[in-house]
Amino acid sequence: MTLIPRARAQHPLAYAPGYKTSVPRSPKLALISMPATPTEDTGPVFGQSMLGELDNNLVLNLTGDPAIGERVLVHGRVLDQSGRGVPGALVEVWQANAGGRYRHKKDGYLAPLDPNFGGCGRAITGEAGTYQFLTIKPGAYPWPNGPNDWRPAHIHFSVFGHAFGQRLITQMYFEGDPLIPRCPIVNTIPDQSAIDRLVAPLDMNGSKPHDFLAYKFDIVLRGTRQTLFENKKEGM
Amino acid sequence: MVQKLDTLEETPSQTAGPYVHIGATPNFAGIGGIYPEDLGLKPFPDDAEGERITIRGIVHDGTGTPMRDVLVESWQANADGQYGPGTQGWARLPADQENGIWTLETIKPGAVGAMAPHIALWIVSRGINIGLQTRIYFDGDDLSADPVLARVEHRNRLPTLIAKSDGPGSWRFDIHLQGDAETIFFDM
Ligand SMILES: [Fe+2]
C-alpha cells in the first residue's frame, strides 16, 4: 500500500466551534506532517472466518426476530484513491434504532429501545471491494449541543483497509434528509462537495420489491497499490 | 481546461460520536449475543515471544478532564520488529468508563529499521472530528537515530511521545489534547 498524503481540506476541521465538544477536544498545535513509514503502511488483516452468519444483518442479529423500522439494504464498495476495489477490508457499522435511540446506557432519549435491535454490524469486503448490510433506517434524534439540534438519520462506519494509516471513521447520511444541512457535525466539513460524498443515494435497482429499499454508499480510503516507480524510504 | 485526474478523494471523516463502543466493542458496551467476543482484545497470543509489558494512560481533554468515552487503537511490530501476521500487533483499548484509563497489555516491540521501538496509536471519540495519530516510544531506549523523532522541530515537545516506567514491566503514557503538555500528533 502506498499512502497518499491526506488532503486535509476534504476533512472536517478539528476545531469546529459549531460542534461544541470539538472545542476542548481539538489539538491546538499543528499536526506534524511527514511521509508514512512501514508502521502506517501496514495493518491488521482480518479473515472472513471471524464473521458470523448474521453479522451484516442488523434486522436479525440481536435476537433472530426482526427489528421494527423501514427495511433498507446499505451496500457499496470500499475503493482506494485510484478507484480500485479494496478486498478484505473490515467495515463495521453502528446506529440508532428506528426511533432514534441507541442501545447504550448513556442514551436517555425518550424514544424506546427495540427489544430486537442491537445496532451494530460488520462485514469484510469481497474481491471487488463490495460489502452490504441489511438494517432498518435509523431515526433522527436530538442531542445536546445548540438549544435544538437534531442529528439527521445516519449510520456510523469504521473502515480498515490494508494499512493502519488508512484508518477511517465516518458517517453515512440518506439522500433527501432536510436535517443534513442543519447538522453542526455535518458542517464541521467546510467543503460542500465533500459533504455530498457522505450522502447515500436511494438505489431502486438495488432494492427488493416487497422487502427492502436500498441505498448505495461507496467509501474511498487513502492510498493506492504500489507503483513501479516507488523508492524505498531512506533508513526505514 | 485540462483533463480530469483519475484519482479519487478520500471519504471525509466524521466524529466517532459518543457511542463508538456499540460498533467497535459491543460486548464492552453491554451488548452481548451479537459477536462472541470483541475484536482487538489483545494484540498477541499468550505464547508470543518478547518482554511482556503493560501500558496505561488517560486521554485528557483541553480542560484536563479524563475522556471516559475515548477509544484508542494500537498497532505495533512484534519483538523482532516485524508486523503481523493476521491481526497480531493490533489492539482496541476502550477507556474505563469510570476513570478513563486505557490499558494495553502487550510485548515490547522491536526496532523497525532505523525506527526505535514504538507503538502507533489512533484516537477517536466524540468531539474528535478526525482520528488522531500519535506514537508511544519508551524511556531508556536510544531514540537518537529515529527518523520520525528527528523531524520534530520543537524538541521540548518530545517527552510527550515517551512512555515512562512506573514499575517492573509497567509503563505510563498520558495523552493531552491541549495545554502545556499537548501531545504531538502526526499527519503521516
Ligand atoms: Fe450517531
Q: What is the pLDDT along chain B (188 residues), one digit of tens a residue?
A: 899 888 999 999 999 999 999 999 999 999 999 999 999 999 999 999 999 999 999 999 999 999 999 999 999 999 999 999 999 999 999 999 999 999 999 999 999 999 999 999 999 999 999 999 999 999 999 999 999 999 999 999 999 999 999 999 999 999 999 999 999 999 99
Nearest residue of B to residue A120, measured between CA atoms: B23
**Per-residue cell: A64:** 433472530
Q: How far is A131 from chain B (nearest CA, A)?
A: 16
Partner residue facing B127 (CB), from A22, A37, A220 = A22
Nearest residue of A to residue B9, measured between CA atoms: A81
Q: How far is A158 from chain B (nearest CA, A)?
A: 8
Residue contact B147–A219, C-beta within 8 A: no
Partner residue facing A32 (CB), from B21, B129, B186 = B186
Residue A52's CB is within 10 A of a number of other CB atoms, namely 12
pLDDT computed for residue A225 by the predictor: 74
Give the C-alpha separation, B132 to B185, whole Å.
6
Question: What share of chain B in percent tops pLDDT 90?
Answer: 98
| Residues in A 59-98 with any Cβ partner in B closer than 8 A | 61-63, 79-83, 92-94
Per CB-CB distance under 8 Å, the chain B contacts of A6 are 10, 187
pLDDT computed for residue A235 by the predictor: 45
Q: How far is the CA of A96 from the centre of ligand 1 (A)?
A: 7
Give the C-alpha separation, A198 to A166, whole Å.
17
Nearest CA to B70 among B58, B82, B80? B58
A225 touches chain B (CB under 8 A): no
Q: How far is the CA of A144 from the centre of ligand 1 (A)?
A: 12
pLDDT computed for residue A228 by the predictor: 53
Residue contact B132–A27, C-beta within 8 A: yes
Give the C-alpha separation, B16 to B24, whole Å.
10
Tell me the pairing of strands B119-124 and B132-138.
antiparallel
**Per-residue cell: A68:** 421494527
Q: How far is the CA of B179 from the centre of ligand 1 (A)?
A: 29
**Per-residue cell: B157:** 515537545
Residues of A classed as catalytic: 102, 141, 151, 154, 156
Residue contact B130–A105, C-beta within 8 A: no
Instruction: Tell me the sheet residues that pair with A224.
Output: A2
Ranges of chain A with pLDDT below 50: 234-236
Q: The complex's ipTM?
A: 0.97
